[in-house]
Amino acid sequence: MKPYRFIISGGGTGGHIYPAIAIANELKLRYPDAKFLFVGAKDKMEMEKVPQAGFEIKGLWISGIQRKLTLKNLSFPFKLISSLWKANSIINKFKPNAVIGTGGFASGPTLMMANRKGVPTLVQEQNSYPGITNKLLSKKAGKICVAYDNLERFFPSEKIVKTGNPVRQDLLSIHTKTEEGKTFFKLDKKKKTVLILGGSLGARRVNQLIESQLEFFKNQEVQLIWQCGKLYVDEYKKHDDLENVQVHQFLNRMDLAYAAADVIISRAGASSVSELCIVSKPTIFIPSPNVAEDHQTKNAKSVADKHGAILLKESELDTFSIVFETLMKDKGKQENLSENINELALPNATSNIVNEIEKLIK
C-alpha cells in the first residue's frame, strides 16, 4: 500500500501553528513513512516555524480582511483568487489522502479546494468562538474537532467532536519539575514566583501594566518571570537589572517556567488556555480585546464561569493590585482555582484528533 499523504494548513499565530505541528508529529509517529506538506501564508511566522520543526511548507499570497477600509482590502479579491488557484495546483500535485486545517488565512483556500475535489477534510477549531473561515469550511468538512462546549450554534452538530487543543507533551509532567524550574531560572526558593505571558510577539497593555506595578510587586515580595515578547523586548529589557525581575523575549523552556510559577498572568489565546488547564496554577487572564470576534474574552470567560481562573478585562486594569493582593493572601482561593481549571483539561487532544483523521482516511 502507498504511504499516506497529508496536507496541513494553519498559521498566522503560534496558536494555529503549534497545533498543526503537533498533529503532524502524531501522524508521523503512527505512519513513519507518510508524506507531509504544510500550506501557510507567505509572509507569516509559519514560513519559519514549520521548516524548523522539520516539515516542508508552501506559501499562499493571502491575508485577512481589515475591518477598516484600507488599500489591503482592495487587494483581497486578487489574493483570494491567486490563493485558490495555487491551493488547487498544490492539491493536484501532492494528491493528499486528507487535508487538515487548524485556522489562519491560508487554511481557507486550501480546505475549500480540497472539499471541491472530494478530498476528506478535518477542521480543528481552537477557540470558544470560531472565526469566519472555519464557519465557512465546516459546511463541507468531514469532522470538526473543538475544545469547548456549545459550538453547535456555529457548526453542524453531527460533525463536532470535542477533543481539546493539542498541547506540548512536556507539560503533562510539570508537577514533578518544580525544583528543576526554580534552579533553571535561578529563583529565590523562599519567594513566590509570578509568570507573565503575553504571547510570542508580546502584549502591549500587559507589559505596560507590569511596568507600572514593579514597585507594588517588590512590596508584595514576589519575583517575576516576565515574557514581554519580540516586539517589546528593547523597551522593557532595562528592568532585567532589577532584583527579582527577569525579562525574557521568549521562553524556550515553557515547561520549566510553568513548573516554577506559583501564579500566572496571561493572555487568553486558545492554546494558552488549553495549556493552562493542564498546568493548573492560579491564573489571572487579561484577554486581548483586539482580536477577531473578541474570542480571547470568550475563551477566558468559559474558564472563569466555572471558577477556574480570574478574568480581568483591559478596561478593569486599575483594580489589578487589589485583585492580585487578594489572591496572594487567600490560599484557599488559589487551591480552588487550581482544582477547577484542572477539571477542564483535555491532555489527550492530539491523539484524539488523529483518531478522527484516521476514521476519515479509512
What is the domain-level CATH number for residue 52? 3.40.50.2000
> Exposed (0-12), middle (13-18) or buried (19+): which is 92, by Cβ within 10 Å?
exposed
Residue type, 122: L
Asked if residue 279 and residue 198 are part of one domain, the reply reads: yes
Asked if residue 282 and residue 259 are part of one domain, the reply reads: yes
Q: What is the pLDDT of residue 292?
A: 76
Asked if residue 183 and residue 149 are part of one domain, the reply reads: no
In the chain, the number of structural domains is: 2
Give the separation between CA 253 and CA 315, rounded to whole angstroms: 32
Contact 212, 198 (CB under 8 A): no
Asked if residue 324 and residue 202 are part of one domain, the reply reads: yes
Asked if residue 196 and residue 64 are part of one domain, the reply reads: no
Asked if residue 16 and residue 120 are part of one domain, the reply reads: yes
Q: What is the pLDDT of residue 283?
A: 98
Angle at 156 between CA 155 and CA 158, to 5 degrees: 130
Asked if residue 325 and residue 198 are part of one domain, the reply reads: yes
Contact 39, 47 (CB under 8 A): no
Asked if residue 57 and residue 31 are part of one domain, the reply reads: yes
Residue positions forming the annotated binding site for UDP-N-acetyl-alpha-D-glucosamine: 13-15, 127, 168, 200, 296
Per 3-state DSSP, the chain is made up of helix, strand and coil in percentages (nearest 5) of 50, 15, 35
Contact 258, 195 (CB under 8 A): yes
Q: What is the pLDDT of residue 66?
A: 52
Q: What is the pLDDT of residue 83?
A: 84
Cell of 66: 481589515
Residue type, 22: A
Asked if residue 276 and residue 127 are part of one domain, the reply reads: no
Instruction: State the residue range of the domain holding 54.
Output: 5-166+347-361
Asked if residue 110 and residue 20 are part of one domain, the reply reads: yes
Contact 357, 282 (CB under 8 A): no
> Exposed (0-12), middle (13-18) or buried (19+): which is 261, by Cβ within 10 Å?
buried
pLDDT < 70 stretches in the chain:
64-73
> Within 10 A of 306 (CB to CB), how many other CB atoms are there?
12
Rg (CA), the chain: 21
3-state SS class at 3: coil
Asked if residue 338 and residue 351 are part of one domain, the reply reads: no
Q: 22-33 in b/e burial notation, b at 16+ Cβ within 10 A?
A: bbbbbbeeebee
Residue labelled with grid coordinates 489522502: 97
Give the separation between CA 75 and CA 176, rounded to whole angstroms: 52
Q: What is the pLDDT of residue 69?
A: 60
Q: What is the pLDDT of residue 64?
A: 62
Asked if residue 228 and residue 148 are part of one domain, the reply reads: no
Residue positions forming the annotated binding site: 13-15, 127, 168, 200, 296
